[in-house]
Amino acid sequence: MPALTEVADAIIRGDHAGVAALTRQVIREGIPPKTILDDGLIAGMTVVGDRFRSHEIFLPDVLLAAKAMYAGMDELRPLLIREGVPPIGRVVIGTVRGDLHDIGKNLVGIMLKGAGFEVIDLGHDVAPEKMVRAAEEQGAAVIGMSALLTTTMPVMRETVELLRARKLDGAIRTVVGGAPVSEAFARDIGADAYGFDAGNAVDVVKALVGRA
Amino acid sequence: MTVVLRFRGADVLPSRDAALERMGIPAGAELAEPVESSFARAAELLIESAAPAGVMEEISAAEFGEVYRGEGRNDPASPVADIFGRADHLALFAVTLGEGVSEALARCFAGEELAIAYLLDAMASVAADGIADLAERRFDGLVRGRGWNPADGAVLRYSPGYCGWDVTGQRKLFAHLDPARIGLSLTEGCLMRPLKSVSGVAIAGPREIHVFAPEYDACRSCRTRTCLGRHRALASRERS
């Protein structure tokens, strides 16, 4: 469908006004919302993600594309809700208690949204109880935790242990990341996965929800 | 004596290449036009929102030993531990870009100006390091002004959270320096607030005390390896 290709191309260009207008146009043409999402918006972001991974473009280009995708989603969201189209997964993210660094966590959230996930961003300084409660209440499949300080990394373990204590560790998976965090640390605390950067975190979360 | 450091707005803006390198983009790279526009806007926002300030206080080696010991969580061996005892002069310092930058960043994210937010964050990180470098130079100027002028002298800075100096060392550093006077505070987790801040010790001494082989325990998990660049810079100063 050429019109959907135009939507995807506008995302690749980071043309947010264009994406909004084209999304309205394809909605008017009667293309099903799920098709617009998959073959227009997500298709565009997939190309952007691939180009980023192959170092053809830089992260700011990806973020401009993400903003363009948000513009399309603003048009599409009411229809997706009305038709009961579920996101490919729901993810709660936050920077752990005692830590105020936002940028890495924000990038993960942006990338996840670009891949079609619904993201509940709890912000920074998030206590384990709040993280687990939000995931439970929102029906999230994954909790993503970020820490930028060695002093706050133990909060990740607390969160994993809280999930286990509540017997939620099978239903709600965990992924951790941040400058001082490593794969070995993730294994040591019993987290389900480790994401070494925002792009990798998307792949990891997709694998956790069986959409890799 | 405590010195309150003031910086000019022009001191804040990093070079284009330094900002690009911070984001993993090669220096001199050509950016797409929309990224270029975002870059320019981020630079404007940094200049508008930054209120750079710093504080510096000289400290004896014995006193610094107590600050450095912190809460006893440092690595058993670390470069700082090996360096400061051989120093001629030391000064604790803390610098910040101010809360305005954090607020500008939050506004950009909230307004979905994602690329500008990311670029601003990277520029601000480089800028915070830049004013820490200026603090280091001011200390260099201060001690040289008092007659410390060895042919092989050099001043370098070291910060808690790096090189085996545990981040909990911030607590004693803050207790000694009292950077609240420039609006800097410490969270329970020893994180500085505002975020775009740098603290540490500036160490003046013979150049060779700053040069070490990166073979400490902390070096194994270090991802920055900025020491290598600093050692190269010292070597080039020696040649010139």
CATH, residue A28: 1.10.1240.10
Cα–Cα distance list, B38 to A47, A103, A104, B113, B119 (Å):
22, 17, 19, 9, 8
pTM (2 decimals)? 0.89
Determine, for residues A150 and B105 on separate chains, whether the beta-carbon distance falls below 8 Å: no
The last residue of one of the domains, among A82, A107, A134, is A82
User: Within 10 A of B52 (CB to CB), how many other CB atoms are there?
Assistant: 24
Tell me, yes or no, whether A78 and A94 share the same domain: no
Tell me, yes or no, whether A120 and A54 share the same domain: no
pLDDT at residue A152, as a whole number: 87
The last residue of one of the domains, among A82, A115, A148, is A82
Q: Closest to A14 (Cβ–Cβ): which among B34, B117, B189?
A: B34
Residue B122: closest CA among chain A residues belongs to which residue?
A103
pLDDT at residue A110, as a whole number: 92
Tell me, yes or no, whether A51 and A113 share the same domain: no
Tell me, yes or no, whether A16 and A112 share the same domain: no
Kindly list the residues from chain B whose CB atom is less than 8 angstroms away from the CB atom of residue A106.
109, 114, 117
In the structure, what pLDDT confidence band is assigned to residue B95 with cuts at 50, 70 and 90?
very high
- What is the C-alpha to C-alpha distance for residues A85 and A74, in angstroms, rounded to an integer? 15
Tell me, yes or no, whether A18 and A96 share the same domain: no
| Residue B220, both tokens | 């194994």
Range of the domain at A73: 2-82
Tell me, yes or no, whether A191 and A105 share the same domain: yes
**What's the average model confidence in pLDDT over B106-112?**
92
| Alpha helices per DSSP H over A54-192 | 59-82, 103-114, 128-138, 154-165, 183-189
Tell me, yes or no, whether A41 and A129 share the same domain: no
Q: Closest to A179 (Cβ–Cβ): which among B34, B189, B223?
A: B223
CATH value at residue B23: 3.40.109.40
Residue B196: name the closest of B133, B121, B135, B113 by CA.
B121
- What is the C-alpha to C-alpha distance for residues A92 and A208, in angstroms, rounded to an integer? 13
| Residue A115, both tokens | 């891949």
Displacement of CA A135 from its chain's centroid (Å):
14
The last residue of one of the domains, among A54, A82, A110, is A82
- Predicted ipTM > 0.95: no
Residue type for A187, please? R
Tell me, yes or no, whether A132 and A148 share the same domain: yes
Is the model's pLDDT at A120 over the cut of 90? yes
Q: How many structural domains comprise chain B?
A: 1
CATH value at residue A199: 3.40.50.280
Cα–Cα distance list, B132 to A61, A66, B95 (Å):
30, 34, 6
Tell me, yes or no, whether A33 and A132 share the same domain: no
Residue B101: name the closest of B112, B117, B88, B78 by CA.
B117
Q: How many structural domains comprise chain A?
A: 2
In the structure, what pLDDT confidence band is assigned to residue A2 with cuts at 50, 70 and 90?
low
For testing contact with chain A, the best of B171, B191, B197, B226 (most A CBs within 10 A): B191
For testing contact with chain B, the best of A45, A52, A61, A64 (most B CBs within 10 A): A64
**What's the average model confidence in pLDDT over B211-235?**
84
Determine, for residues B23 and A59 on separate chains, whether the beta-carbon distance falls below 8 Å: yes
A95 lies within 8 A of chain B by CB: no
Lowest mean per-residue pLDDT among A40-49, A71-80, A130-139, B9-18: B9-18
**What's the average model confidence in pLDDT over A65-92?**
94
- What is the C-alpha to C-alpha distance for residues B172 and A118, in angstroms, rounded to an integer? 43
Tell me, yes or no, whether A21 and A37 share the same domain: yes
Q: Closest to B115 (Cβ–Cβ): which among A60, A99, A152?
A: A60
DSSP state of A182: -
Tell me, yes or no, whether A33 and A113 share the same domain: no
Is the model's pLDDT at B147 over the cut of 80? yes
B167 lies within 8 A of chain A by CB: yes
Tell me, yes or no, whether A66 and A95 share the same domain: no
Range of the domain at B95: 2-239
| CA atoms in the 13 A half-sphere facing the CB of B51 | 10
Residue A181: closest CA among chain B residues belongs to which residue?
B221
Size of interface A-B (CB pairs under 8 A): 84
How does pLDDT run across B46-73, given as a tens digit for each residue?
Answer: 999 999 999 999 999 999 999 999 999 9
Handedness of CA B77, B79, B82, B85 (dihedral sign): negative
